[in-house]
Amino acid sequence: MDKIKYFTTPIYYVNGSPHIGHAYTTIAADILARYYRSRGFQVFFLTGTDEHGQKIAKAAEERGLTPREHADLMAGSFTDLWKKLDISNDGFIRTTEAGHMKVVQEILGTLYEKGEIEKRKYTGWYCVPDERFWTQKDLVDGKCPDCGRKVENIEEENYFFLMSKYQQALISHIEANPGYIMPDVRRNEVLGFLKNNRLEDLCISRPKARLSWGIEIPFDRDYVTYVWFDALINYYSATRYIMPGDVRWWPATCHLIGKDILTTHSVYWSSMLLALGYSLPKRIFAHGWWMTEDEKMSKSLGNVVDPLDLVGEFGTDAFRFYLFRNSLFGKDASFSYAGFKKTYETELANELGNLLSRVLSMILKYDACYDGKAARKTDYMTFTTGSEYGKKEYKREDILFAFIDDYERLDFYSVLEKIWLMVRAVNRDIEDKKPWELAKNDTRALNGCLSTWFQFLRIVSGFIYPFMPGASRKMRVQMGIEGLKEEEILDIDIETDFSRIKKGDPLFPKKEVK
Ligand code: MSP
């Protein structure tokens, strides 16, 4: 099995500020990157910004800036947010970088020489905000079928990528590789589209007279390339110039995207790669949308959730946790402030934070019962979870193995559910074993319990690492096991020493009622 993983997020448009939707995809990729790194994989995690095209040129003009000045500012707001959200990306690609532009031109040249690109006269309906051409029959009430805004009738000569040739090859690939497009609803959606429609060729140029903010077509200097054609290539161009060393990163392990940009990835990008004769990515995973109390988030409704507000109030770890504890990756989810607060108080402050402080306090309080080295490796690692989940014994190893499949399927909810079963089981075990009574009459048993709980917390600190790297580190500092390398975080058999415990502030401090 290869020990190499390459994860990507969409590259975000620099025409607006980052919001919860951008944060969602980027944190998901970060969770995967951290998980695989901690299992000893070599990982390339790429994110970045999509900086060409009409939308960006327009946004810059409205602010009285050149497109480049505007893009520099906005790219900065993304990198700032990623720092605040503890995103561990290895690369940040900007489509205006020379390295990227060179690869795009190279690819255009190759496809042109191979006869995959043709110049044609074209009349069509153009949606400026979406930068997409539509045919008459695509329009809904004369408007853009995607965003409902008005379209312009345009007649011009343009270059076309002969995408229609790849209709059958795409169907065959998707059918032969059930994991290529995930989840299944999205796969079926794409297959349905490909089987029931005639795939058109794709207009991939814009005359410079109409738009100059783009990458010049190398065989015709009067044109720039269509922004999506330029943007999709980032996934490949980054492997050519961003990561040093001689690992072959392409093909990507998984492109993480939102469901709204599924067609561009599964149809446009896949057929571009087929035409080039390059390998296809191993997976395209389209997640659902975050809504505000079941309404679509939009600037005009004023209900867009700003990640920075939540991070300011509850911290980065809580924000990361909330997003994946309260959504099924792949389905839509509904944001609510009250729900956020509840998750924070119940699962983070009480169930995890209190547990850590409780176990460490007991170890310190009952220190007469051990000689400072009591936390040996221990085989006693089994808890019985309570009736609400059915009686089931969980062994630590079972849980580790159970994660492997969850991460393969990007089922983050299931990972967290398993971790929280453990957390709750330890809490329940403390109530059952009554350490305060053992302290009076059975210090040997007490010692065993404290070791076991401590070891479990150690494991939990490793399991939560991909989701909450900050809280994971804080736990380890208090437990006296800091300084582990990333690939040691999930190790099970590291000797621990109670004498190194240093209790600190609560992991998730209680919040004032707002
Ligand atoms: N630039 C293109 C992507 C090019 S990739 C080669 C683009 N950029 S974007 O900035 O508009 O948005 C990118 C992502 O944000 C999409 O995957 C989209 O699904 C996601 N989201 C935008 N709003 C969202 C929510 N409310 N919830 C979840 N994700 C959503 O498209």
* Nearest partner of 454 among 411, 397, 497, judged by Cα: 497
- Is pLDDT larger for residue 57 or for residue 88? 88
Q: How far apart are the CA of 512 and the centre of ligand 1, in A? A: 34
Q: Is 286 in the pocket of ligand 1 (CB under 6 A)?
A: no
Q: Is residue 82, in this structure, part of any structural domain at all?
A: no
Q: Is residue 409, in this structure, part of any structural domain at all?
A: yes
Query: How far apart, in Å, are the Cα atoms of 187 and each of 254, 265, 282, 331, 352?
Result: 15, 12, 14, 14, 37
Rounded Cα distance, 254 and 25, in Å: 12
pLDDT tens digits for range 7-22: 999 999 998 889 999 9
Q: Is 10 in the pocket of ligand 1 (CB under 6 A)?
A: yes
**pLDDT score for 340:** 95
Q: Is residue 235, in this structure, part of any structural domain at all?
A: no
Q: How far apart are the CA of 260 and the centre of ligand 1, in A? A: 7
- Is pLDDT larger for residue 322 or for residue 494? 322
Q: How far apart are the CA of 197 and the centre of ligand 1, in A? A: 25
Atom of ligand 1 nearest to the CA of 288: 28
Instruction: Write down the pTM of the prediction.
Output: 0.92
Mean pLDDT score of the chain, rounded to an integer?
A: 89
**pLDDT score for 272:** 98
User: What percent of the chain has a predicted confidence (pLDDT) above 90?
Assistant: 68
Rounded Cα distance, 302 and 295, in Å: 11
- Residue carrying the six token digits 């401590």: 454
pLDDT tens digits for range 90-128: 999 999 999 999 999 999 999 999 999 999 998 889 887
**pLDDT score for 86:** 98
Ligand 1 atom 10, closest CA: 12
* pLDDT band with cut points at 50, 70 and 90 for residue 167: very high
Please say if the pLDDT value at position 507 is more than 90.
yes
Per DSSP, the residues of 116-159 read: -EEEEEEEEEEETTTTEEE-GGG-BTTB-TTT--B-EEEEEEEE
Q: Is residue 47, in this structure, part of any structural domain at all?
A: no
Count CB-CB contacts under 10 A for residue 424.
19
pLDDT tens digits for range 452-486: 888 889 889 999 999 999 999 999 999 998 888 88
Q: How far apart are the CA of 273 and the centre of ligand 1, in A? A: 22
Instruction: Encode 213-251 in three state secondary structure.
Output: CCCEECCEEEEEECHHHHHHCHHHHHHHHCCCCCCCCCC
Q: Is residue 408, in this structure, part of any structural domain at all?
A: yes
Beta bridge partners of 143: 140, 150
Q: How far apart are the CA of 331 and the centre of ligand 1, in A? A: 15
**pLDDT score for 307:** 84
Q: Is 11 in the pocket of ligand 1 (CB under 6 A)?
A: yes
Please provide the distance, in angstroms rounded to a whole number, between the alpha carbons at the two ends of the chain.
51
- Is residue 110 helix, strand or coil? helix
**pLDDT score for 375:** 43
**pLDDT score for 298:** 76
CATH number for position 436: 1.10.730.10
Q: Which phi-psi region, left, alpha or beta, contains residue 106 (left: φ > 0; alpha: ψ -120 to 50)?
A: alpha
Q: Is residue 348, in this structure, part of any structural domain at all?
A: yes
Count CB-CB contacts under 10 A for residue 70.
22
Rounded Cα distance, 481 and 495, in Å: 9
Count CB-CB contacts under 10 A for residue 509.
11
* Nearest partner of 251 among 273, 270, 230, 279, judged by Cα: 279
**pLDDT score for 114:** 97
**pLDDT score for 246:** 83
Domain of residue 450: give its range: 337-500
The number of folded domains in the chain is 1
Please say if the pLDDT value at position 379 is more than 50.
no
pLDDT tens digits for range 414-441: 999 989 988 998 898 899 889 999 989 8
Q: Is residue 276, in this structure, part of any structural domain at all?
A: no
Q: What average pLDDT does this structure show over 363-380?
A: 56
**pLDDT score for 76:** 95
Where does residue 481 rank: exposed (0-12), middle (13-18), buried (19+ CB within 10 A)?
buried
pLDDT tens digits for range 125-164: 988 777 778 888 889 999 999 889 999 998 889 999 999 9
Please say if the pLDDT value at position 396 is more than 90.
no
pLDDT tens digits for range 184-233: 999 999 999 999 999 999 999 999 988 889 999 999 999 999 999 999 99
Rounded Cα distance, 80 and 347, in Å: 28
Q: How far apart are the CA of 12 and the centre of ligand 1, in A? A: 7
**pLDDT score for 174:** 98
Q: Is residue 56, in this structure, part of any structural domain at all?
A: no
Ligand 1 atom 30, closest CA: 21
* Nearest partner of 327 among 226, 213, 411, judged by Cα: 411
Count CB-CB contacts under 10 A for residue 506.
13
